[in-house]
Amino acid sequence: MKQIERATWQDVEEISNLYDELNDYLVTHTNHAGWLKGVYPTQETAQVGIQNQELFVLRMEGKIVGTMILNHDQAEAYEEGRWRKVLKEEEVLVVHTLAIHPSYGGRGIATSLLNFAKLYSAEQGIKAIRLDVAIRNTPAQVLYEKCGYQEVGIVDLGLGIPELVWFKLYELLLS
């Protein structure tokens, strides 16, 4: 049974381990996301997400197997997106750090988290969900499009990492 809830301080170590295990996996497999152990995501990513009450976890059989951060933080480059609606910052929820433990891939966990984001957004009166994804992360792009997200541009997020320059922007309108 899948259970999605807001992460707590007691979850920090388990989330950090998930990030590390995922990044270790990405070193030996195709790293579509471009994430790097010790760079992103890290234990600090989890701590800030918990502190701001923006980090959500998906548990299966009591184990955290997926995470995501939901907030209103749109990178400056989002201004270049061809958004289908002009919205105020508080009317938009942004998905960050959608991470699935490598042992649990292919089980619909990312889809469950995105569906949760949609329900959560509707409860909050949000009008659109937005996100960015590395241009070479085609598996994630397929997932987002399957979940109804539409591409609205390609931008440089200004990360200063040669392998992570171009990102696709996606949007799901809710109202």
Task: Flag the least confident range among 2-16, 18-32, 50-64, 72-86.
Answer: 18-32
Q: Is the pLDDT of residue 162 over 80?
A: no
Q: Is the pLDDT of residue 121 over 90?
A: yes
Q: Is the pLDDT of residue 137 over 90?
A: yes
> What's the rounded Cα separation, in Å, for the pair 43 and 115?
25
Q: Is the pLDDT of residue 49 over 90?
A: yes
Q: Is the pLDDT of residue 161 over 80?
A: no
Cα torsion 99, 93, 156, 102 to 10°: value is: 10
Query: How many Cβ atoms are within 10 Å of 155's Cβ, its own excluded?
Result: 20
- pLDDT for residue 76: 95
Cα 42–43–46 angle (5° rounding)? 95
- pLDDT for residue 79: 96
The CATH number assigned to the domain holding 134 equals: 3.40.630.30
pLDDT tens digits for range 63-115: 999 999 999 999 999 999 999 999 999 999 999 999 999 999 999 999 999 99
Task: Flag the least confident range among 38-42, 54-58, 148-152, 166-170.
Answer: 38-42
Q: How confident is the model at residue 39 (pLDDT cuts 50, 70, 90)?
A: confident
- pLDDT for residue 83: 97
What is the domain range of residue 79? 2-173
Considering its fold, how many domains does the chain have in total? 1
- Letter string b/e over residues 43-63, b meaning 16 or more CB atoms within 10 A of that residue's CB: eebbbebbeeebbbbbbbeee
Q: Could you give the 3-state DSSP secondary structure of residue 172? A: strand
> The tokens of 11 are what?
């979850």
